[in-house]
Amino acid sequence: MHWAVTTYDTAFGYVSAHGAPLVDLLDPQPGEKIIDLGCGTGAFAAEIAERGAAVLGIDGSPEMIAQAKALHPELSFAIDDAHCFTTSESFDAVASNAALHWMTRDPDAVIARVHESLRPGGRFVGELGGEGNCAELIVAMQTAWRVFGLSEPELPWYFPSPAEYAGRLEEGGFTVRLLEHAERPSRMVEGPNGAADWIRVYAPGALAEVPPELVEPLLQRVNDLAAPALRRESGWVADYVRLRFAAVRKADGSSSVY
Protein backbone atom coordinates (compact mmCIF):
# COMPACT_ATOMS: atom_id res chain seq x y z
CA MET A 1 0.00 0.00 0.00
CA HIS A 2 1.16 3.55 -0.72
CA TRP A 3 0.35 6.01 2.01
CA ALA A 4 -0.79 9.62 1.91
CA VAL A 5 1.83 10.35 4.54
CA THR A 6 0.82 13.88 5.49
CA THR A 7 -2.86 13.03 5.82
CA TYR A 8 -2.07 9.97 7.89
CA ASP A 9 -0.08 12.01 10.37
CA THR A 10 -2.30 15.06 10.69
CA ALA A 11 -5.91 14.31 9.79
CA PHE A 12 -6.18 11.49 12.29
CA GLY A 13 -3.60 12.61 14.82
CA TYR A 14 -4.87 10.20 17.45
CA VAL A 15 -2.72 7.44 15.96
CA SER A 16 0.37 9.13 17.37
CA ALA A 17 -1.33 10.59 20.45
CA HIS A 18 -2.19 7.13 21.70
CA GLY A 19 1.46 6.16 21.68
CA ALA A 20 2.20 8.04 24.91
CA PRO A 21 0.92 5.52 27.46
CA LEU A 22 2.34 2.60 25.48
CA VAL A 23 5.84 3.94 25.97
CA ASP A 24 5.29 3.68 29.72
CA LEU A 25 4.35 0.02 29.38
CA LEU A 26 7.47 -0.53 27.28
CA ASP A 27 9.52 1.36 29.89
CA PRO A 28 12.63 1.87 27.76
CA GLN A 29 15.88 2.09 29.69
CA PRO A 30 18.90 4.19 28.74
CA GLY A 31 21.19 2.19 26.49
CA GLU A 32 18.64 -0.44 25.54
CA LYS A 33 18.35 -1.44 21.88
CA ILE A 34 14.72 -1.32 20.77
CA ILE A 35 12.93 -1.91 17.48
CA ASP A 36 9.80 0.05 16.63
CA LEU A 37 8.03 -2.33 14.25
CA GLY A 38 5.72 -0.59 11.80
CA CYS A 39 7.17 2.76 12.80
CA GLY A 40 5.30 4.87 10.24
CA THR A 41 6.66 8.40 10.33
CA GLY A 42 8.65 7.75 13.50
CA ALA A 43 6.65 9.52 16.23
CA PHE A 44 6.64 6.53 18.57
CA ALA A 45 10.30 5.76 17.82
CA ALA A 46 11.14 9.32 18.87
CA GLU A 47 9.29 8.89 22.16
CA ILE A 48 11.29 5.74 22.85
CA ALA A 49 14.54 7.49 21.98
CA GLU A 50 13.70 10.32 24.40
CA ARG A 51 14.03 7.78 27.21
CA GLY A 52 17.63 7.14 26.19
CA ALA A 53 17.22 3.92 24.21
CA ALA A 54 18.77 3.31 20.79
CA VAL A 55 15.87 2.81 18.39
CA LEU A 56 15.64 1.18 15.00
CA GLY A 57 12.38 1.99 13.24
CA ILE A 58 11.23 -0.56 10.67
CA ASP A 59 8.42 -0.06 8.19
CA GLY A 60 7.48 -1.64 4.88
CA SER A 61 6.51 1.66 3.31
CA PRO A 62 9.30 3.63 1.58
CA GLU A 63 7.12 6.78 1.84
CA MET A 64 6.77 6.40 5.60
CA ILE A 65 10.48 5.75 6.08
CA ALA A 66 11.41 8.76 3.93
CA GLN A 67 9.20 10.95 6.09
CA ALA A 68 10.52 9.38 9.31
CA LYS A 69 14.10 10.11 8.26
CA ALA A 70 13.21 13.69 7.36
CA LEU A 71 11.44 14.27 10.69
CA HIS A 72 13.94 12.42 12.90
CA PRO A 73 17.35 12.51 11.17
CA GLU A 74 19.08 11.49 14.41
CA LEU A 75 17.30 8.09 14.51
CA SER A 76 17.86 4.91 12.52
CA PHE A 77 15.20 3.64 10.15
CA ALA A 78 15.00 0.78 7.67
CA ILE A 79 12.51 -0.29 5.03
CA ASP A 80 11.63 -3.91 5.70
CA ASP A 81 8.72 -6.32 5.80
CA ALA A 82 7.70 -7.32 9.34
CA HIS A 83 6.95 -10.85 8.07
CA CYS A 84 10.54 -11.52 7.08
CA PHE A 85 12.92 -8.94 8.58
CA THR A 86 16.19 -10.12 10.10
CA THR A 87 18.66 -8.35 12.36
CA SER A 88 22.40 -8.82 12.75
CA GLU A 89 22.24 -8.26 16.54
CA SER A 90 19.87 -9.09 19.42
CA PHE A 91 17.50 -6.43 20.71
CA ASP A 92 16.23 -5.81 24.23
CA ALA A 93 12.70 -5.05 23.12
CA VAL A 94 10.41 -4.80 20.13
CA ALA A 95 7.55 -2.34 20.34
CA SER A 96 4.69 -1.73 17.94
CA ASN A 97 2.00 0.92 18.07
CA ALA A 98 -1.11 0.76 15.85
CA ALA A 99 0.73 -1.20 13.18
CA LEU A 100 0.33 -4.95 13.76
CA HIS A 101 -3.26 -4.84 12.49
CA TRP A 102 -1.91 -3.90 9.05
CA MET A 103 0.25 -7.04 8.95
CA THR A 104 -2.45 -9.40 7.78
CA ARG A 105 -0.56 -11.93 5.67
CA ASP A 106 0.75 -14.14 8.47
CA PRO A 107 0.64 -12.95 12.10
CA ASP A 108 2.66 -15.98 13.23
CA ALA A 109 5.47 -15.08 10.85
CA VAL A 110 5.60 -11.57 12.34
CA ILE A 111 5.76 -13.00 15.86
CA ALA A 112 8.50 -15.43 14.76
CA ARG A 113 10.58 -12.56 13.34
CA VAL A 114 10.13 -10.57 16.55
CA HIS A 115 11.18 -13.60 18.60
CA GLU A 116 14.26 -14.09 16.48
CA SER A 117 15.31 -10.46 16.86
CA LEU A 118 15.09 -10.48 20.68
CA ARG A 119 17.53 -11.73 23.27
CA PRO A 120 16.05 -14.32 25.69
CA GLY A 121 14.09 -12.27 28.24
CA GLY A 122 13.57 -9.50 25.68
CA ARG A 123 10.20 -7.73 25.65
CA PHE A 124 7.53 -7.56 22.97
CA VAL A 125 5.12 -4.75 23.76
CA GLY A 126 2.39 -3.58 21.46
CA GLU A 127 -1.01 -2.18 20.78
CA LEU A 128 -3.25 -2.99 17.83
CA GLY A 129 -6.89 -3.03 16.92
CA GLY A 130 -8.62 -5.87 18.75
CA GLU A 131 -11.71 -7.94 17.96
CA GLY A 132 -14.65 -5.59 17.41
CA ASN A 133 -12.44 -2.68 16.38
CA CYS A 134 -14.27 -0.17 14.18
CA ALA A 135 -17.31 -2.47 14.09
CA GLU A 136 -19.80 0.34 13.41
CA LEU A 137 -17.57 1.84 10.74
CA ILE A 138 -17.14 -1.53 9.05
CA VAL A 139 -20.84 -2.42 9.11
CA ALA A 140 -21.73 0.99 7.66
CA MET A 141 -19.16 0.45 4.95
CA GLN A 142 -20.33 -3.06 4.08
CA THR A 143 -23.97 -2.00 4.04
CA ALA A 144 -23.33 0.98 1.79
CA TRP A 145 -21.31 -1.14 -0.63
CA ARG A 146 -24.20 -3.64 -0.79
CA VAL A 147 -26.82 -0.91 -1.28
CA PHE A 148 -24.84 0.36 -4.27
CA GLY A 149 -24.64 -3.15 -5.74
CA LEU A 150 -20.88 -3.40 -5.22
CA SER A 151 -19.11 -6.54 -4.06
CA GLU A 152 -17.99 -6.50 -0.40
CA PRO A 153 -14.94 -4.31 0.13
CA GLU A 154 -11.79 -6.16 1.04
CA LEU A 155 -10.75 -5.05 4.52
CA PRO A 156 -6.98 -4.84 4.97
CA TRP A 157 -6.88 -5.32 8.75
CA TYR A 158 -6.31 -8.02 11.34
CA PHE A 159 -8.21 -7.46 14.60
CA PRO A 160 -7.64 -10.57 16.76
CA SER A 161 -9.42 -11.55 19.95
CA PRO A 162 -7.28 -11.54 23.12
CA ALA A 163 -7.47 -15.34 23.30
CA GLU A 164 -6.28 -15.74 19.73
CA TYR A 165 -3.38 -13.33 20.06
CA ALA A 166 -2.29 -14.69 23.43
CA GLY A 167 -2.28 -18.18 21.89
CA ARG A 168 -0.12 -17.03 19.02
CA LEU A 169 2.34 -15.34 21.39
CA GLU A 170 2.59 -18.42 23.62
CA GLU A 171 3.00 -20.70 20.60
CA GLY A 172 5.64 -18.33 19.28
CA GLY A 173 7.82 -18.67 22.37
CA PHE A 174 6.61 -15.79 24.54
CA THR A 175 5.23 -15.59 28.05
CA VAL A 176 2.32 -13.15 28.11
CA ARG A 177 2.61 -10.74 31.03
CA LEU A 178 -0.26 -8.41 30.21
CA LEU A 179 -3.14 -8.44 27.77
CA GLU A 180 -5.89 -5.82 27.68
CA HIS A 181 -8.89 -5.66 25.37
CA ALA A 182 -10.62 -2.33 25.82
CA GLU A 183 -12.97 0.02 24.03
CA ARG A 184 -11.34 3.34 23.28
CA PRO A 185 -13.72 5.66 21.43
CA SER A 186 -11.53 8.29 19.79
CA ARG A 187 -12.50 11.66 18.41
CA MET A 188 -11.73 12.10 14.74
CA VAL A 189 -10.13 15.39 15.57
CA GLU A 190 -9.50 16.61 12.06
CA GLY A 191 -11.80 14.32 10.14
CA PRO A 192 -14.84 16.61 9.93
CA ASN A 193 -16.43 14.44 7.28
CA GLY A 194 -16.40 11.51 9.65
CA ALA A 195 -16.58 7.96 8.35
CA ALA A 196 -16.05 9.19 4.78
CA ASP A 197 -12.73 10.83 5.69
CA TRP A 198 -11.74 7.78 7.69
CA ILE A 199 -12.30 5.47 4.70
CA ARG A 200 -10.33 7.75 2.41
CA VAL A 201 -7.32 7.57 4.75
CA TYR A 202 -7.51 3.98 6.01
CA ALA A 203 -9.24 2.00 3.27
CA PRO A 204 -8.17 3.64 -0.01
CA GLY A 205 -7.86 0.17 -1.55
CA ALA A 206 -11.59 -0.44 -1.08
CA LEU A 207 -12.38 2.85 -2.85
CA ALA A 208 -10.04 2.05 -5.74
CA GLU A 209 -12.54 -0.60 -6.93
CA VAL A 210 -15.47 1.85 -6.95
CA PRO A 211 -16.49 3.60 -10.21
CA PRO A 212 -15.44 7.26 -9.76
CA GLU A 213 -18.96 8.65 -10.15
CA LEU A 214 -20.18 6.48 -7.25
CA VAL A 215 -17.48 7.44 -4.73
CA GLU A 216 -19.14 10.57 -3.33
CA PRO A 217 -22.67 9.17 -3.03
CA LEU A 218 -21.27 5.95 -1.59
CA LEU A 219 -19.29 7.77 1.07
CA GLN A 220 -22.30 9.96 1.86
CA ARG A 221 -24.30 6.77 2.43
CA VAL A 222 -21.60 5.42 4.75
CA ASN A 223 -21.84 8.63 6.75
CA ASP A 224 -25.64 8.42 6.90
CA LEU A 225 -25.44 4.84 8.13
CA ALA A 226 -22.66 5.43 10.66
CA ALA A 227 -23.87 8.76 12.03
CA PRO A 228 -26.41 7.45 14.58
CA ALA A 229 -23.68 5.46 16.33
CA LEU A 230 -20.64 7.65 15.76
CA ARG A 231 -21.58 11.29 15.32
CA ARG A 232 -21.88 13.43 18.45
CA GLU A 233 -22.69 17.11 18.75
CA SER A 234 -18.97 17.71 19.26
CA GLY A 235 -17.94 15.73 16.17
CA TRP A 236 -17.28 12.22 14.90
CA VAL A 237 -15.92 9.44 17.10
CA ALA A 238 -14.21 6.29 15.83
CA ASP A 239 -15.28 3.14 17.69
CA TYR A 240 -11.82 1.88 18.43
CA VAL A 241 -11.16 -1.28 20.44
CA ARG A 242 -7.55 -1.78 21.45
CA LEU A 243 -5.61 -4.93 22.17
CA ARG A 244 -2.58 -4.08 24.25
CA PHE A 245 -0.01 -6.63 25.35
CA ALA A 246 3.36 -7.09 26.98
CA ALA A 247 5.17 -10.39 26.50
CA VAL A 248 8.63 -11.72 27.25
CA ARG A 249 10.72 -14.03 25.09
CA LYS A 250 11.12 -17.33 26.94
CA ALA A 251 14.57 -18.62 27.67
CA ASP A 252 15.80 -20.93 24.90
CA GLY A 253 14.68 -24.52 25.49
CA SER A 254 12.14 -23.65 28.19
CA SER A 255 8.52 -24.60 27.58
CA SER A 256 7.25 -22.02 30.07
CA VAL A 257 8.61 -19.43 32.46
CA TYR A 258 5.90 -20.21 35.02
Which chain residues interact with ligand BEZ by CB under 6 A? 98, 101, 129, 133-134, 157, 202, 240
Enumerate the β-bridge partners of residue 37.
58
Strand order in 76-79's β-sheet? 76-79, 54-59, 33-37, 91-97, 118-129, 241-249, 174-183
Q: Which of 231, 207, 232 is nearest to 218 (CA)?
A: 207
Determine contact, residues 94/103, Cβ cutoff 8 Å: no
User: Which residue, 53 or 141, has its beta carbon nearer to ligand BEZ?
Assistant: 141
User: Which residue, 141 or 169, has its beta carbon nearer to ligand BEZ?
Assistant: 141
User: Which residue, 41 or 117, has its beta carbon nearer to ligand BEZ?
Assistant: 41
Closest CB 209 distance from ligand BEZ, rounded Å: 18
Residue nearest to ligand BEZ (CB): 129
User: Which residue, 118 or 138, has its beta carbon nearer to ligand BEZ?
Assistant: 138
Count the neighbouring beta carbons within 10 Å of the beta carbon of residue 216. 10
Enumerate the β-bridge partners of residue 95.
36, 125
User: Which residue, 104 or 157, has its beta carbon nearer to ligand BEZ?
Assistant: 157
User: Which residue, 19 or 57, has its beta carbon nearer to ligand BEZ?
Assistant: 19
Closest CB 19 distance from ligand BEZ, rounded Å: 11
Query: Which H/E stretch holds residue 117?
Result: helix 107-117
Helix (H, G, I), strand (E, B), or coil: what is residue 98?
coil
Pinpoint the alpha helices (H) of 11-92.
Answer: 14-17, 19-26, 43-50, 62-71
Determine contact, residues 48/68, Cβ cutoff 8 Å: no
Closest CB 110 distance from ligand BEZ, rounded Å: 16
Closest CB 98 distance from ligand BEZ, rounded Å: 4
